[in-house]
Amino acid sequence: MYRKILILVLFCFYTAVICGQPLGFSLANGRKKVQIPIEIYSNLIVVPVVLNNSLPLKFILDTGVRTTILTQKAFTDILNLQYSRKYTISGAGGVNLIDAYITNNVSLGLPGVESHGHAMLVLEEDYLELRNYLGTDVHGILGYELFSRFIVDVDYEKRMLTLIVPDKVRKYKKFKSIPIKIEDTKPYLITTIILEDGTTLSAKLLVDTGASHALMLDPSSDERIHVPELTLSSMIGRGLGGEIFGKIGRVKNMQLGEYSLNNVVTNFPDPNSYFDSLKVGKIFRNGSVGGEVLSRFHMVYNFPEEKIFFKKNAAYKKGFHHNLSGLTIKAKGSRLNIFEITEVREQSSSQKAGLQVGDIIESVNGLTLQYLNLSLVNGLLNNRPGKKVKVEVNRNGVRFKTTLILADQI
């Protein structure tokens, strides 16, 4: 689950402009197109990035942020980069103070892509715990600077990112298209949503590749948006300002161009809980559409012409489910191969099976640690409603085996 909360991130962009340092990506050797293998974790796109031509890292590709973010200062310290400014950042309510720094004139290389002159916001520590909740080493976030330079083609099914010079774009004959509006560097679309009570809403949504959820609707944005009767109270996000709480329910239908998606799982943040300054500036919106929807399509982002092209893939027909086991699991250890249960939802199949917070998962369906990663563990625990899953855990040095039956509570 990936959400972000941060104050003053815009200073990173403005610092680069004031200093007169050009921000720029270009394809190497005059090429017009490059293809880059990607990884997908919790519906998030992870790309390889080389920092200053020497340090190989992994970044999330995020349409919802303006400026590149590095999650740990230790990496820039290794390269002896200089910091032009330091900020003390507070979360909502002035708590959870963290430190962040600005460094300038950074290069961010991708395979077949050159870059120079970037400004970057550097966090003192990985407050977002991306690597722990994705189960892989993720070191930063890359956003608008890439989308503004290229046509960005994301094939979730083939795990392939294609960057195309805008003047050499092929026609996407088998794709549908919808207009988007780029406001404050972020893409928005207008679409029709039918709520559980039958209300039809024309909603303005941020297209957010950096969010793992399907749909988020903010009830405070429109008096017609009511939280459904059947919901779960839950933490719906995690950020620098702390945990974000809300209700998880469904909407009857949402449209994405000519495609119609039914019974979409939707987050409804509690009043004053949702604050995401990496994504929310002064732009009004009703919510966001995230990776759980976007990953069902082959997506092509054309920021220069303000269009999105998309074609359904094999995942399109999947049902929308929310955490069928009721577990939240965190990967720990230097190899991220210790799987600790950090939350057990009330009345969930896992609670009924006797699993507890603090349990360490040792095997799932007979697969032991040497065969498991967090993505596989979560996949097995969210297979389909009615599926039986055998789990063995270590509880304070004692082995405990149980079987849970996956169930959807909404």
Distance CA(63)–CA(105), nearest Å, equals 22
Contact between 274 and 244 (Cβ < 8 Å) = yes
CA distance 201 to 193: 5
- Predicted local distance difference test score (pLDDT) of residue 234: 87
pLDDT tens readout for residues 230-259: 999 988 877 666 678 899 999 999 999 999
**pLDDT at residue number 241:** 63
> Exposed, middle or buried: residue 43 (CB in 10 Å: 0-12, 13-18, 19+)?
buried
Q: How many residues does the chain have?
A: 410
Residue 93: Cβ-neighbour burial (10 angstroms; 0-12, 13-18, 19+): exposed
State the pLDDT at residue 73. Answer: 93
| Sites in the chain below the pLDDT cut of 50 | 1-22, 92-94, 277-280
pLDDT in the model for residue 245: 87
- Compute, in degrees rounded to 10, the torsion defined by CA atoms 330, 298, 280, 66: 90
What's the pLDDT score for residue 269?
92
The count of other CB atoms within 10 Å of the CB of residue 80 is 7
The per-residue pLDDT for 170 is 72
Cα angle, residue 159 at apex, residues 128 and 59 outer, rounded to 5°? 25
pLDDT of residue 375: 95
pLDDT at 23: 55
What is the model's pLDDT at position 171? 78
* Phi, psi torsion values for 177, nearest 5 degrees: -140, 150
pLDDT, residue 27, reads 95
